Amino acid sequence: MRSMRYRNISSALTLGLTVCAVGFSAVGASPAAAAATNEWSAINAKALDGLGTLAFCWHHDVWTVKDGKAHDLGPGFRPVLSSSGRYVAYIKETGSSSGTLWVARTDGSGQRFAPLGSTPVAANGYAWVSGTGELVAARSNWAGGSPGQATPSTKTSPGQQGSLWAIHASTGKISTIVSNARITSVTAGSGLVAYSVVHPISSKYPGNATDVLYVAHLRPHSSPKPLLSTLDSGIQLAGIAGNHILYWVDPQHSASIAADGMVLYSVRSTGGRAQTLTTTLGYPSWLSFSSPDTLYAVAGGLRIVWARKTLRRYSLATGTYSLIAGNSAKAALDPAADPATGRIAFVAAANLDVKTWGFSSPAPLEQWIASRTLWVTKPGGASPQPVAAAGYGVYHPQWTANPNVILYAKNSGLWLVDLSTGRTVEVVSGIFGSSENDLFGFYGHRWMTDEYSWVQ
C-alpha cells in the first residue's frame, strides 16, 4: 500500500534541498540571548575541539563550531566549508531554493556578501576549490536541482542566461569563468572546475536538448574546454578526484528517470574516452574518494533506499570494482573514506523487499530506521565490523582529525563515537527534523549535506 507520505514527497528530487526547517528563533541571536532561552546548551562545542570544523543549520541560522567555540552567523542555509575549514559559504535567504551568496570566516568574523551582490545563486550551485580559499559560484538559472546541480526542465525553463565565477574569499577578488551560458551543474576539485551547459536543439521536438561538459583550470588559469556532450540527455556532475571528473547522465533531462538511478561515468580532465562505472542514485554523499583513483560508491538503481544497495570500491581509471558490503539481508549506505588510514565507515540497514515503496504507518518506517547501524572496515575496505556503541538510526558518518573518532547523525542531532573506548557524546541537538515526512526523506534518503558541512 502506498502511504500518504509516499505521495507527498515525490517532488523532493526536483527541489533537492532541505531548508533548515527545525523551529524558529530570533534572527541573529547572540550567545547571551541563546543562553537565556536554554538553546546554547544544545551545542557541545568543546567536544569538537581539535577534531575539525563544523558548520550547520539551526533554527534557520547558520552556525559554526571552530576551536571549541560556537558562532551564530545569522539567517541562512546550505553552509559549505572550505577544505581548510577557514571559510564558510552559504545562502543568506531562507524559505527559497536560491538567494544571495555570503562568505564568512568560520570564527564568525569577516561576514559579508560575496562580490556578486544581489545576483541570485542556486542552492547547490557553489563549491570550494580544494586546498584553496577560492569559491566557484553559478548564477541561479533554475530553482532546484539535486546537490551539486541546478537541473532545468528543458521543456518549461525560460531561456535565461547565467554565469560562473571564481571568488577569492580573502580578498573578494572575482573573475569570470564563463558568461551567458545555461549552466546546469558545477563541481570543483584541486585547481579544477567542471560545469555542464544545456543547449536546446532546434527541431520539431523543442524540448530536446544536448548538454556539454566543460573543464577549466584555475591554477594556472586556462580557458574552458569542452570534454564531451550528450544528445537529449543531461549531465549532472558528481565530483572531482585528482584529474578524474565524475558525472551522471540523465536521459531526456527527466527528474523521474534520474530518481530511479543514472549511469555514473568517469572522464579525465585532459579528455579521452569516458569510463562507465555503475548505476547509482544521484546522491553525491553516496560517493567517497580515498585517493585520486579510488572511489567508494553505493551501487544500485531503484529510488527506494532500502533495496538492492551495495557498497563497492572502484578504480576510476579502469572501472573495475570489488564488493565491500551489502547482500540480500543488508543494504550498505552512506560511505565515508578516510584517506589518512584507508578505512571506510558506512551504514548498514535492513534490505527490504523491492515491492516496499512506502509505509502505511510510522511503525515500520521507524523499525527500518532503527536497523541503520554504523560499520567500519580495515584499510582498503576489508573486514567490515559493526560499531555497536554508536547505537541505532545512524546516518552520514564522517571521519575526524582523530583517527579513532567518527562524527555521525542520529535522531535529531550529531554525535561522536570513540572507536577505541566506545564512548559517545551528542555535540549538536535539534538540527534535523523529526516529523514523519522528515524521517521518510526521499524514498528513504535524507539530505543531511544541506544541513551541515564538516572538515577535519
Neighbours of 329 (CB within 10 A): 8
**82, 64 in Cβ contact below 8 A?**
no
Q: In this structure, what is the dihedral angle of CA atoms 381, 382, 387, 388, given to the nearest 10 degrees?
A: 140
- Write the CATH number for 345: 2.130.10.120
Could you give the C-alpha distances from 451 to 20, 375, 414, in angstroms and in order?
6, 23, 11
**245, 194 in Cβ contact below 8 A?**
yes
C-alpha 38/C-alpha 74 separation (Å) is 18
| pTM for the whole structure | 0.86
Per residue in 121-174, pLDDT tens? 877 789 999 988 899 999 865 433 333 333 444 443 434 467 899 999 988 889
Nearest Cα residue to 77 out of 51, 100, 53? 100
Burial of 320 (0-12, 13-18, 19+ CB in 10 A): exposed
Give me the pLDDT at residue 311, please: 98
Max CA pair span of the chain: 66
E strand or H helix at 299, and its extent? strand 294-299
Residue 365's SS3 state is: helix
E strand or H helix at 390, and its extent? none
Any bridge partners for residue 90, and if so which? 102
Give me the pLDDT at residue 150, please: 36
Per residue in 79-112, pLDDT tens? 999 999 999 999 987 666 678 899 999 998 887 8
Contacts of 404 (CB under 8 A, 6+ apart): 418, 419, 420
Burial of 355 (0-12, 13-18, 19+ CB in 10 A): exposed
Give me the pLDDT at residue 435, please: 56
- The yes-or-no verdict on residue 438 having pLDDT over 60 is yes
C-alpha 440/C-alpha 443 separation (Å) is 6
C-alpha cell at 407: 562524527
- The yes-or-no verdict on residue 452 having pLDDT over 50 is yes
Residue 209 belongs to what domain range?
4-455
C-alpha 300/C-alpha 310 separation (Å) is 7
Residue 375's SS3 state is: strand
DSSP string over 260-294: T-EEEEEEETT--PPEEEEEE-S-GGGEEEEETTE
- The yes-or-no verdict on residue 439 having pLDDT over 90 is no
Nearest Cα residue to 304 out of 443, 442, 437? 443
C-alpha 138/C-alpha 216 separation (Å) is 14
368, amino acid identity: W
- Report the number of distinct structural domains present in the chain: 1
